[in-house]
Structure 1
Amino acid sequence: MTAVGTLTISSAYAQACVGCYEPDAGRKAAQQMLLMDMPVSVWTDNTDYSHGDKITVHGKVANVSGMPITVTVVNPLNSVVTIAQINPENDGSFKTILNTDGELWKHDGTYTIKVNYGSASKSNKVLVELSGATSGSSNNCASSEIYLKGNYCVPYTITGGMVTGASINSNDNAIIVRINASEDGTLTLNPDKSILDGIFMVLVDGEEWDDVEISDNQVTVNFLAGAQKIEVIGTFVIPEFGTIAVMILAVAIISIIAVSAKSKLSIMPRY
């Protein structure tokens, strides 16, 4: 995760210790000592998001004084997207979830999440990237379904993590699922064939993945802790802009052709 400021501890720090030789107790102690030296630390569960995803912000203040923490988000145009106040826990930790739905979140680019705890010296910030199609959840889908732009719902189950968003890649005939994998787990998708058909390949974080089971139009992916993006590729996927948009475009083209033909006939000489 990209973090800005000398006071920031990011999730990348924790990931750097995965697989190292330091015992868990020693690693946790080192992290706690680092946090104690920071008036305010802040990090997010990911670095890249699609519009409509939820951003989970974590952090810690060194000395709890009973004041609320102010969280401010600024978009790539330097406009304030949202301001919120949250109270830290007794141990100084805090957490909030930002929903990237809405007009002010529509711009692609770098968003700055600023955290302040009463004074300029007790502040920090972290940067995240927003891009791509709107994804996330929808009231039209059940809790056990992934929402895709165009009001499509795909049944799924997951262990070892959580789904943070999904989108369609019509260029590669794929559904992209973003996850936050806290441990090794499995993701099972069972899309209707009108949404995705002919599943034959899966990529995990951009690499072809073999630990996969495909049965008819159901796919089960065994992922490792830390995985962030799973792409399920088939021979067909619904257009990203939806069937209705295709019909409107077709009607518009036919109307233009008809008008053009009528115009040519009207200027032809009569004998």
Structure 2
Amino acid sequence: MDLKIFYGLIALLVISTGTVFAQESLISIQTDDNNYDEGDAIVVSGNVKTVIGETPVILQLFNEGNLVDVAQLTVAQDGSFTKTFLAEGALWKKSGDYTIIASYQEYQTETEFSFTPKSKVVETTEPYEVDAGSHGTFDVKYTIKGGTVKKMVVDSDIFGVIVQINATDEGVITLDLPREFIGAEKQDGKDDTFIILIDGIEVAYQESVVHSESRVITIEFEEGDSDIEIIGTYVVPEFGAIVMLVLIVGTMMTVLVTRNKFQISI
């Protein structure tokens, strides 16, 4: 009798363990990022291995046990589902870890992400003094979120400025570039586009504000990015082909003036 009870308990344990694993593997979810700021879009996607009729997936979003949002999703024929939550509103005020629980009939799974309200977002706004060699220095005003600026240096070989950052999260940097020291222009003097490289890879940028004395550009970056190259058509100090041409012309003029003086003295 004791052996029957023992084997019976073992059987129940195996069955219950198998059920737990089945619940965990039947449905899966993930978010498109691990960290969000207020106003961000939180994209939740997932999959169920076995589609059960028209059974919906229920998503519940909690913070410290309090329900923040809920959604009922239709599962596609391939078992996939997706939902976008907007991280803003009266219930999005506390920073910390948030939990998303996905339910499909009696099966459940969950995932977490961290959230930071605007009041807690660290955003740095200040000018940076860039060394321009013999031309002295010039200031570049900037605003950065998601990291810090380590250094800004002129690279005359690429007619640009390199901004070195410490990106602790995905973020954005806005730079107010003074036209007197750096710019991108066409032959007719009109504005041309900058070339922006992040760690050697070309990326897009936004330019919503154009001033007569500066151009304001905004660049998005990812966690772990380090070097942002802003390449234009001129930078101070310039030691490229254009400046070399000016030096050559200046040298030739000096030679001609000296020769004329020599001829006059004779």
Given the two structures, how large is their TM-score scaled by the length of structure 1? Answer: 0.44
Given the two structures, how large is their TM-score scaled by the length of structure 2? Answer: 0.45
Answer 1 or 2: which has greater strand percent.
Answer: 2
Instruction: Pick the structure with greater CA Rg.
Output: 2
Answer 1 or 2: which has greater helix percent.
Answer: 2
